[in-house]
Structure 1
Amino acid sequence: MSCSSSLILPSISSNGFRRFSPLKLDKSRVFMSSISVGSQIAAVDDALFTDYKPTNAFLFPGQGAQAVGMGAEAQKVPAAAELYKRANEIMGFDLLDVCINGPKEKLDSTVLSQPAIYVTSLAAVEILRAREGGQQIIDSVDVTCGLSLGEYTALAFTGAFSFEDGLKLVKLRGEAMQDAADAAKSAMVSIIGLDSDKVQKLCDAANEEVDEANKVQIANFLCPGNYAVSGGVKGIEAVEAKAKSFKARMTVRLAVAGAFHTSFMNPAVSRLEAALSATEIRTPRIPVISNVDAQPHADPDTIKKILASQVTSPVQWETTIKTLLTKGLKKSYELGPGKVIAGIVKRMDRGAEIENIGA
């Protein structure tokens, strides 16, 4: 290399607190920005993680994974239980009580389910850390990602921002998405049994019958045979009515506030942008794969832009998992409530090794 500089990257010490160590990086790469880390100015190359080679992955769930009773297991591990106490100060109420006791309707709300899943997923990391050999597993993880909301959990795990800052962002994200959903009648539906091309044709057919305010689009590319469509209520009803004629096995209306990952969420973007601009974000210590483009990013400014656009962009989860498997991923761990991600991974590769760590 003709020219290099030191980039300060976070790593995890044995006690779980973050320290910083220098990494050499090539200045000849195109995408760079300058950020201040303490008293040092570091050039961050967004392409730093482009050639990542995954071995062990942490995968974090998104909204919909929540269930009454989650968090109970975490109370047996002091470091995990402590996260709920720290969360209560930010949330302004007893989050653990809602996680364990519900009621389900309250826990399922967008404003509560997102913070609850974020905290419970990071509590699962502490449960794993406390078990024999757990720290070695954590140290072996060289890539991470999360489904929609789970991207924030993944970034917190890698030290891109603190637990508290991540929770504040997730809290605001849930509130902003709920407000955006309340502003227009919209919905989401899962289409089971069709490939993505057929689902797109189904959306096109539905869109021919509704006005602009009710248009639909694929919002979640989850895995082959399972895609979520978002849009105006009339458009979603048209999708449901036409699904059988397109030979879909079934449709499942999702219990969410509205048309996530579409332009219906535009009102949430400016609020997220403001919150992200005021949040210190550092380069993750390992690659975090983005939902927006299924790529890892190292530049904090780029990460902020992607998190702001994520709520209006389709989730590229199928491409993310396919890429990890193609690149030689050996084992995955799903950390947090539910087993949705394990089901997706197994559907894409029956031989894939994935372990659930609940909390």
Structure 2
Amino acid sequence: MLVIASPGQGAQKPGFLSPWLELDSVGSLVDTLSDASGIDIRRHGTESDADTIRDTAVAQPLLVAASLITHSVLFGSLTLPRPDLYAGHSVGEIGAAAQAGMLSEENAMRLVAVRSQAMARAAAAEQTGMAAVVGGKREEVLAAIEQAGASPANINGAAQVVAAGDEASLAALSENPPARARVIPLQVAGAFHSRFMEPARDELAEQAGKFATRDAIIPVVSNADGSLVTDGAAFLSSLVNQVASTVDWEACMHTFADQGVTGILELAPAGTLTGLAKRDLKQVARFDLNTPDDLDAARAFVSEHASASKES
């Protein structure tokens, strides 16, 4: 059983799209995605430096475009079986929604453009940030985050929770860390997936009606609680709420295990989500699709793990 996963903000690296743009089939798709988002995907994926692509308004459309590009190339062969599940971490859920057929590629890019700009504005309104809490017991970690006045933004696995809050709350968390845990400040623009993003969530909610949805045949595993979703309208509502709510990737991984997933393929820029799976889903095979050189092995991985290939 196969899940295709799309990474979230922070996975981007300078020049990571360069090898993909050498493929003849990619150029027109990149132009379409750029036009829909208002972001020059080609330039930011090949030439822009780390500081430029760290900008929320650039990073998010770039990452969604990357997942759509690599997914399109991977499944360009009509004989390749489709995955059993899709999933994405944070903004990666927008890519997953498009791959599952809930959104058109153009609407996915328009949606992420609105999301990224609204989140960038919300982040600029106050001095806020995020910090990773690594180690410790889950109950004690969550209690320490709450006591400090912060909130759990990302539950990434058994040993990592990312806290979000203002400078005072994050300082309090660093000064009083949970037992047997380290608090590591993150270089991010703001307190994503927390109450500080409520203006962005409200802005996105006002725009959501512009994006037509369809129901999917292949379910998407929701960041909200790990549930399997095929209702396009319901998933769009979840995407809106996700902006100011906790991303529970650990719940997604529990669902992978419960569903009997045997393989996780992460789309470019890959490595973050398979890294989390390496710690929490040791029995599941992992594949990072980062360059076209990986395609033959990636297609073999899909054929090995997708349930449809075993039924034929």
Q: TM over 0.5, yes or no?
A: yes
CA–CA separation in structure 1 for the residues paired with 2:216 and 2:187: 32
CA distance change for structure 1 residues 329 and 162 in 2, over 3 Å: closer, same or farther?
A: same
Q: Write out aligned runs for 1:58-77 (5 A).
A: 58-77=4-23
Name the structure where helix makes up a greater proportion of residues: 2
Of residues 238, 247, 263, the one that matches 2:180 is 247
Q: In structure 2, which of residues 238, 250, 253 is the aligned counterpart of residue 318 of structure 1?
A: 250
Separation in 1 of the partners of 2:224 and 2:38?
31
Query: Partners of 1:93 and 1:349 in 2: how far apart?
Result: 36
Deviation at 1:183, TM superposition (A): 1.3
Do residues 262 (structure 1) and 194 (structure 2) align? yes
What is the match of residue 164 of structure 2?
A: 230
Task: Give the corresponding residue for 1:286.
Answer: 218
Residue 154 of structure 1: aligned partner? 96
Q: Secondary structure at the match of 1:221?
A: strand
Contact 1:122 1:157 in 2 (8 A): yes
Any gaps of 5 or more consecutive residues in structure 1?
Answer: 1-54, 207-214
1:118 aligns with 2:50: no
Q: 1:300 to 1:88 in 2, by over 3 A?
A: closer
Q: CA deviation at 1:170?
A: 0.4
Cα distance in 2 between the residues matched to 1:126 and 1:279: 21
Aligned equivalent of 2:41 = 95
Contact 1:160/1:284 (8 A) holds in 2: yes
Distance 1:93 1:230 in 2: 27
Deviation for aligned residue 1:338: 3.3
Number of residues of Structure 1 aligned to a counterpart in Structure 2: 291
| Closer/same/farther in 2, CA of residues 135 and 59 from structure 1, 3 Å limit | farther
- The residue type equivalent to 1:223 in the other structure is G
Contact 2:164 2:191 in 1 (8 A): yes
Q: CA deviation at 1:115?
A: 0.4
Q: Which amino acid aligns with 1:267?
A: P
Aligned partner of residue 78 in structure 1, secondary structure? coil
Task: Determine helix, strand or coil for the equivalent of 2:15.
Answer: coil
Larger CA deviation: 269-278 vs 332-341:
269-278
Match of 1:45 in 2: none
Q: Partners in 2 of 1:126 and 1:193 — Cα distance?
A: 37
The Cα shift of 1:165 comes to: 0.6
Q: Which amino acid aligns with 2:49?
A: P
Q: Give the C-alpha shift of residue 300 in structure 1.
A: 3.1
Alpha-carbon distance, 1:85 to partner: 1.3
**Deviation of 1:178 (Å):** 0.8
What TM-score do you get using the length of structure 2 for normalisation? 0.88
Q: Cα–Cα, structure 1 residues 75 and 196, in superposed 2: closer, same or farther, change >3 Å?
A: same
- 1:299 and 1:58 mapped to 2: Cα distance? 18
Cα–Cα, structure 1 residues 174 and 192, in superposed 2: closer, same or farther, change >3 Å? same
What's the counterpart of residue 189 of structure 1?
A: 131
More deviation in 104-113 or 271-280?
Answer: 271-280
Paired residue for 2:54?
108
Describe the SS at the equivalent of 2:228. coil
Code of the aligned partner of 1:258? G
C-alpha contact (below 8 Å) 2:270/2:289 kept by paired residues = no
Question: Is contact 1:77–1:126 with CA below 8 Å preserved after alignment?
Answer: no
Whole-Å separation in 2 of the counterparts to 1:240 and 1:100: 37
C-alpha contact (below 8 Å) 2:57/2:117 kept by paired residues: yes
Percent of counterpart pairs with the same letter? 27
Q: Secondary structure at the match of 2:176?
A: helix
CA distance in 1, matches of 2:27, 2:290: 13
Is this contact kept in 2: 1:202–1:246, CA < 8 A?
no
Stretch moving more, 139-148 or 82-91: 82-91
Note the aligned Cα RMSD (angstroms): 1.6
Aligned-residue offset at 1:348: 0.6
Please say if 1:170 is aligned against 2:124: no
Quote how far apart the aligned CAs of 1:336 are: 1.5
C-alpha deviation, 1:93, in angstroms? 5.0
Contact 2:39 2:61 in 1 (8 A): no
Q: CA deviation at 1:197?
A: 1.1
Partner of 2:147: 205
